[in-house]
Amino acid sequence: MAEPATSHSVLLVGGHDTGKTHYGGQLLGRLQLDKGTLRLRGTPETLAPFQKVLDRLAQGRAADHTPTETYEEIVLPLATPSGPVDVVWPDYGGEQVRQVLDQRRVSEEWADRIAQSNAWILFVRPTALQTRDDVFTRPLHEISQGAGPPSPSGGWSSQAWFVELLQIFRHIRRTGVLEAARRPSLVIILSCWDEVDRDNQKLGPPALLAKLMPLFANFVHASWVEGSWTVFGLSSLGKPLSDKEGSEDEQYIEQGPESFGYVVHPDGTQSPDLTAPLEWLFSRAL
Amino acid sequence: MTRLECPNPVCDAPMSTCNLGRTRLSECPHWQHVTGPADETQDAVTEPVLPWIGDPLGELDLEIVTARSSPFLIGLVGGHDAGKTTLLTSLYILLWQGRFLARYSFAGSYTLRGWEGLAHALSWSPGQPPRFPAHTSRTSGRTPGLLHLALRQDERTLRDVLLTDAPGEWFETWAVDRSAPGAEGARWTFRHARAFVLVIDSEALAGPRRGLARQQLVALVRRMGDEIARRRVAIVWAKSDRSVSEGIREVIRQAISAAFPDHREFRVSVYPDPESSEEPGSGFLEVFDWLLEPSMLRVASPMPAPVNRSDAFLAFRGE
């Protein structure tokens, strides 16, 4: 008899092009190997987009990054030591998240997902941060002399964007603000870790977050109880891959996508176990 | 189909958030008068709507803060171009860069778009005095926009701090004639603020019209002295890279000492001080470290609750 629907739900959030889709594909690949403590519950059809990614990786190519590519919500149903858990990739498309910030409206579907989720995984791509934040990183006297170009993101620096996003999510979930929260648990994933320069990589994920996004890191420190949140580094692919025909990666073809990709634990150690961030969440008893 | 509008005269839904704080308009009693409950045509507007938009808060928006705590309002006072805007902008940029207040963590803000707008406005208008971008806070037009910071002292203690964003002209008018119509915003500030920052324009006091600047500043200080009681005032010599003559400085200091029982002087500049080993910008943070000493925040004082006195139903705050 099939297990009833779970009450544990992990919501995966991040802007466009932060690597969530590749993570989904690689995660599926790892789960299909059936070696770890996490298992897939059944093989639902909604995982087709991730299977497509995996098939593409097996051919040595990255998945398409066309902005028009969308998918409906994807749910990865897992069996974990804590019981059944659904990991949710909400409707793709940076415009969904932008709509939340700009139009101040949240669709019913998003609101339900946010309200019901016990844990959030937030994808942040470190190398995508700098271009939006130029004006803030200058010395004060340069800023007041008008040294900056107009912001390409329409007025939100990356840090403010992430703070606002989490504020909105907490509001919808009715997570009170007066005290630091234990729930939902929060994993911040610094994605495309292989793009980060060596010196920054050496800092390890929590220190790198604090260096690149001090205001945001301060906000999370202030708003979550210690132990309820953490930072991982992630490279789903392990190396740059092209999505173009004719530029296939031989190693991927020979060794398979399951031989690539790694996470960086909060303490700085690296491992090929892409399920580690999820296991961190589940070990905290959602 | 004509566009639906909320019949509540002080509510701009669906263009803005529900005045009664309903995150779903279908749950608002006013809105239901127009549409009836569970009306299928209102798909788009039954989505949860957030009670803040990120712009500076107006008097009517304050509930989102007063509902959870007694906010600490700091009034920034000074003539136009004195440097109030730069002070606020610098505070935000420093926090953004990871320079923090001594005793508090940044725990969020309901006016992030307002803060961001300051920094971007500053950087987009080279050569011009910094200007606040137009904000859309719902006010009567005669109260200052308010920027918000939530500051966390420890796991259980959150402080909401509000900072006024007001045109200098209001204070210039008020200094001359306290009851002038154009001074209502200044009067509002002095009625509700629990502490103040007086921003002194060192550049004006060092420039060709320094005599007039000195006179106007002293008039402002004296007017403030009438209203301040024992409230704390941070005296901020802005643009301190310009040096003010000792004579003028002394006259101003005497006026300040006579007017303010609890004050401290600070020098700030966006330019690095060649004679100081401190990081540029430290002065901006020290101002707020002093104003926000935990002992200062313990005494509660009521914030104004917006009330529409002409409508007995809307005047009822008891829901």
pLDDT tens for B177-196 read: 999 888 888 999 999 999 99
The band of A217, judged by pLDDT with boundaries at 50, 70 and 90, is very high
Inform me whether the C-beta atom of residue A179 falls under 8 Å from chain B C-beta atoms. Answer: yes
Give, rounded to a whole angstrom, the gap between the first and last alpha carbons of chain B.
Answer: 33
Residue A138 has pLDDT above 80, yes or no: no
Predicted confidence at residue A7, as pLDDT, reads 61
Nearest CA in chain B to A169: B50
Tokens matching residue A217: 């890191």
Residue A223 has pLDDT above 80, yes or no: yes
Give the gap in angstroms from C-alpha B212 to the nearest C-alpha of chain A: 26
Please list every residue in chain A whose beta carbon sits closer than 8 Å to the beta carbon of residue B95: 215, 218
Predicted confidence at residue B210, as pLDDT, reads 95
Please list every residue in chain B whose beta carbon sits closer than 8 Å to the beta carbon of residue A156: 112-113, 116
* Element of type H or E holding B172: helix B168-176
The band of A134, judged by pLDDT with boundaries at 50, 70 and 90, is low
Predicted confidence at residue A286, as pLDDT, reads 56
Predicted confidence at residue B139, as pLDDT, reads 46
Alpha-carbon distance of B152 to B158, in angstroms, equals 5
Predicted confidence at residue B21, as pLDDT, reads 64
The band of B1, judged by pLDDT with boundaries at 50, 70 and 90, is very low
Query: Which residues of B, range 87-106, sit inside 8 Å of A by Cβ?
Result: 89-90, 93-98, 100, 105-106
- Sheet strand arrangement including A119-124: A39-40, A74-80, A83-89, A9-14, A119-124, A185-190, A229-235, A262-264, A270-271
- Determine what percent of chain B is predicted with pLDDT higher than 70: 75
Least confident of A53-57, A93-97, A212-216, B67-71: A93-97
Name which of A142, A146, A273 is nearest B281 in CA terms: A142
Please list every residue in chain B whose beta carbon sits closer than 8 Å to the beta carbon of residue A139: 272, 280
Contact yes or no for B201/B78 (Cβ under 8 A): yes
Give the gap in angstroms from C-alpha B229 to the nearest C-alpha of chain A: 31
Alpha helices in A59-197 (DSSP H): 94-103, 108-116, 140-144, 158-172
Predicted confidence at residue B315, as pLDDT, reads 39
Predicted confidence at residue A95, as pLDDT, reads 65
Inform me whether the C-beta atom of residue B17 falls under 8 Å from chain A C-beta atoms. Answer: yes
Distances (CA, A) of B169 to B76, B139, B196: 13, 18, 17
Give the gap in angstroms from C-alpha B177 to the nearest C-alpha of chain A: 33
Inform me whether the C-beta atom of residue B279 falls under 8 Å from chain A C-beta atoms. Answer: no
Q: Mutation test of the interface with chain B: which of A109, A215, A221, A228, choosing the one with the most B Cβ atoms within 10 A?
A: A215
Inform me whether the C-beta atom of residue B71 falls under 8 Å from chain A C-beta atoms. Answer: no
A111, A148, A168 ranked by CB distance to B124: nearest: A148
Q: Mutation test of the interface with chain B: which of A156, A174, A178, A216, choosing the one with the most B Cβ atoms within 10 A?
A: A178
| B189 contact partners, CB below 8 Å, separation of at least 6 | B75, B77, B144, B164, B166
Alpha-carbon distance of A50 to A57, in angstroms, equals 11
Nearest CA in chain B to A176: B68
Query: What integer is the mean pLDDT of A160-172?
Result: 92
Residue A280: burial class (beta carbons within 10 Å; 0-12, 13-18, 19+): middle
Average pLDDT, chain A: 85
Alpha-carbon distance of B103 to B288, in angstroms, equals 10
For residue range B219-258, what is the model confidence (pLDDT) as tens digits? Answer: 999 999 999 999 999 999 998 888 999 999 999 999 999 9
Please list every residue in chain B whose beta carbon sits closer than 8 Å to the beta carbon of residue A180: 152, 155-156
Please list every residue in chain A whose beta carbon sits closer than 8 Å to the beta carbon of residue B108: 163, 167, 177, 219, 222-223
Average pLDDT, chain B: 80
Please list every residue in chain B whose beta carbon sits closer than 8 Å to the beta carbon of residue A167: 108, 110
Q: Mutation test of the interface with chain A: which of B116, B203, B270, choosing the one with the most A Cβ atoms within 10 A?
A: B116
Tokens matching residue A174: 């009715």
- Give the SS3 label for residue B154: strand
ipTM above 0.85, yes or no: yes
Q: Mutation test of the interface with chain B: which of A116, A140, A163, choosing the one with the most B Cβ atoms within 10 A?
A: A140
A107, A151, A171 ranked by CB distance to B47: nearest: A107
Residue A152 has pLDDT above 80, yes or no: no
Least confident of A247-256, B62-71, B145-154, B288-297: B62-71
Inform me whether the C-beta atom of residue B29 falls under 8 Å from chain A C-beta atoms. Answer: no
- Relative to beta strand B195-201, strand B72-77 is parallel
Please list every residue in chain B whose beta carbon sits closer than 8 Å to the beta carbon of residue A148: 120, 123-124
Least confident of A77-91, B14-28, B226-240: B14-28
Least confident of A118-127, B232-241, B270-279: B270-279
Winning range, highest mean pLDDT, from A214-228, B84-98, B120-134: A214-228
Query: What integer is the mean pLDDT of A134-144?
Result: 68
Predicted confidence at residue B42, as pLDDT, reads 44
**One-letter amino acid for residue A68 of the chain:** T
The band of B133, judged by pLDDT with boundaries at 50, 70 and 90, is very low
Predicted confidence at residue A72, as pLDDT, reads 74
The band of A128, judged by pLDDT with boundaries at 50, 70 and 90, is confident
Please list every residue in chain A whose beta carbon sits closer than 8 Å to the beta carbon of residue B86: 144
- Relative to beta strand A270-271, strand A262-264 is antiparallel
Least confident of A120-129, B14-23, B259-268: B14-23
B97, B124, B158 ranked by CB distance to A214: nearest: B97
Q: In this structure, what are the phi and psi dihedrals at residue A271, rounded to the nearest 5 degrees?
A: -150, 155
**Peptide bond connecting A184 to the previous residue in cis, omega within 30 degrees of 0:** yes
Alpha-carbon distance of B289 to B51, in angstroms, equals 30
Please list every residue in chain B whose beta carbon sits closer than 8 Å to the beta carbon of residue A214: 96-98
Inform me whether the C-beta atom of residue A4 falls under 8 Å from chain B C-beta atoms. Answer: no
The full length of chain A comes to: 286
Please list every residue in chain B whose beta carbon sits closer than 8 Å to the beta carbon of residue A136: 93, 96-97, 119
Alpha-carbon distance of A7 to B88, in angstroms, equals 45
- Give the SS3 label for residue B46: helix
pTM (predicted TM-score): 0.85
Contact yes or no for B183/B170 (Cβ under 8 A): yes
Query: What integer is the mean pLDDT of A8-35?
Result: 88
**One-letter amino acid for residue B17 of the chain:** T
The band of A165, judged by pLDDT with boundaries at 50, 70 and 90, is very high
DSSP label at residue A188? E
Q: In this structure, what are the phi and psi dihedrals at residue B312, rounded to the nearest 5 degrees?
A: -60, -35
Residue A104 has pLDDT above 90, yes or no: no
- Give the SS3 label for residue A70: coil
Residue A33 has pLDDT above 70, yes or no: yes
Please list every residue in chain B whose beta carbon sits closer than 8 Å to the beta carbon of residue A178: 68-69, 156, 158
